[in-house]
């Protein structure tokens, strides 16, 4: 079999073409595994360049980058960085150069506005406060609640005033539990090429706040996804 025919066959079955090489650097030539120094609210971090969203520029290679918040992407369940610039990621299971199609249980988690915040500094980012605001109008008595077997509570308006069902399916954490989370997921009746869940998360015990996005079909796996966010943060802490 010729090399061309072999390449076509491997592409058809989802394997990487022999000509394709796994991406190892950013567009600026920074190795994806090169640690970028960042100080986030006084905590020194060594974050591999491939995680950061967007990928770091050359100026970030020298010295410590002071920041109040950051953003990053990673694969679940492997927790490795995505070998595609955040500006080019399409969908929750993108194809990476030189790699086979993602496994059925693989998906990308996107994290935005990641920072350390005391409870009194959360403002609008507090899941608890957002939930209270939702219940004020039209009023808590207008909502129904249903405990899910994956430790979230689904809620919806009984008096939804429009002809179509609600455009999102809403979930919240069980009252009094940690982490706090408020999710909205693309409703099944809405056609979408990339149905997702997104929402705000707060680890009260760690004072970590962030916005998370992952595919809708992984809502039952929400806890593993957000625990991975916290674990990555802890793994990036500089030891000296």
Domain layout of the chain by residue ranges: 3-113, 119-218
- Of the listed ranges 14-18, 94-98, 99-103, the least confidently predicted one is 14-18
- Of the listed ranges 12-16, 60-64, 142-146, 188-192, the least confidently predicted one is 12-16
Residue 11 has pLDDT above 70, yes or no: no
Q: What does the pLDDT read at residue 158?
A: 86
Mean pLDDT over each residue of the chain, to the nearest integer: 90
What string of DSSP letters covers the chain? Answer: --HHHHHHHHHHTTPPPTT-----B-TTS-BTTSEEEEEETTEEEEEEGGGBSSPPPGGGGSS-EEES-EEEEEEETT-PPPSS-TTT--SSSPPPTTSPPPPTT-EEEEEEEEEE--GGG-GGG-HHHHHHHHHHSS-GGGEEEEE-TTSEEEEEETT--SSSPPSEEEEEEPTT-SSEEEEEEE-TTS--SS-EEEEEEEETTTTEEEEEEEEGGGGGGHHHHHHHHHHHHHHHB---
Instruction: Report CA-CA distances (Å) from 93 to 21, 27, 90, 104, 182.
Output: 19, 21, 8, 9, 23
- Mean of the pLDDT values across residues 36-51? 96
Residue 204 has pLDDT above 60, yes or no: yes
Residue 45 has pLDDT above 60, yes or no: yes
- Work out whether the CA dihedral 40, 200, 57, 228 comes out positive or negative: positive
Q: What does the pLDDT read at residue 52?
A: 98
Instruction: Spell out the residues 6+ positions from residue 225 whose beta carbon is closer than 8 angstroms to its own.
Output: 76, 109, 212, 214, 218
Residue 181 has pLDDT above 90, yes or no: yes
For the stretch 56-73, what's the b/e string if a residue is b when 16 or more beta carbons lie within 10 angstroms of its beta carbon?
beeebeeeebeeeebbbb
- Mean of the pLDDT values across residues 23-41? 96
Residue 16 has pLDDT above 80, yes or no: no
- Mean of the pLDDT values across residues 114-134? 92
- Of the listed ranges 42-46, 127-131, 135-139, the least confidently predicted one is 135-139
Instruction: Spell out the residues 6+ positions from residue 187 whose beta carbon is closer than 8 angstroms to its own.
Output: 165, 166, 167, 168, 169
Q: How confident is the model at residue 147 (pLDDT cuts 50, 70, 90)?
A: very high
User: What's the pTM?
Assistant: 0.88
Residue 25 has pLDDT above 90, yes or no: yes
Instruction: Report CA-CA distances (Å) from 61 to 179, 215, 231.
Output: 34, 32, 24
Residue 12 has pLDDT above 80, yes or no: no
Residue 136 has pLDDT above 90, yes or no: no
Q: What does the pLDDT read at residue 202?
A: 98
Q: What does the pLDDT read at residue 6?
A: 43
Q: What does the pLDDT read at residue 8?
A: 44
């Amino acid at each position: 079999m010729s090399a061309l025919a072999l390449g076509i066959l491997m592409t058809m079955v989802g394997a990487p073409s022999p000509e394709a090489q796994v991406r190892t650097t950013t567009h600026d030539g920074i190795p994806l595994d090169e640690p970028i120094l960042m100080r986030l609210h006084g905590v020194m971090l060594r974050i591999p360049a491939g995680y950061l969203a967007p990928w770091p520029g050359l100026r970030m290679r020298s010295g410590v980058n002071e920041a109040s918040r950051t953003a990053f992407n990673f694969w679940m369940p492997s927790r490795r960085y995505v070998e595609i610039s955040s500006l080019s990621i399409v969908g929750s299971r993108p194809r990476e150069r030189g790699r086979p199609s993602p496994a059925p249980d693989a998906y990308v988690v996107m994290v935005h506005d990641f920072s350390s915040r005391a409870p009194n500094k959360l403002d609008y980012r507090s899941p608890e406060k957002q939930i209270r605001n939702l219940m004020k109008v039209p009023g808590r008595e207008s909502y129904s609640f249903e405990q899910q077997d994956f430790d979230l509570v689904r809620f919806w308006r009984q008096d939804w005033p429009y002809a179509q069902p609600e455009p999102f399916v809403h979930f919240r954490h069980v009252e009094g539990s940690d982490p706090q989370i408020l999710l909205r997921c693309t409703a099944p009746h809405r056609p979408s090429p990339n149905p997702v869940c997104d929402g705000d998360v707060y680890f009260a015990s760690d004072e970590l706040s962030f916005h998370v996005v992952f595919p809708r079909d992984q809502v039952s796996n929400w806890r593993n996804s957000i625990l991975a966010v916290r674990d990555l943060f802890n793994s990036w802490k500089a030891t000296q």
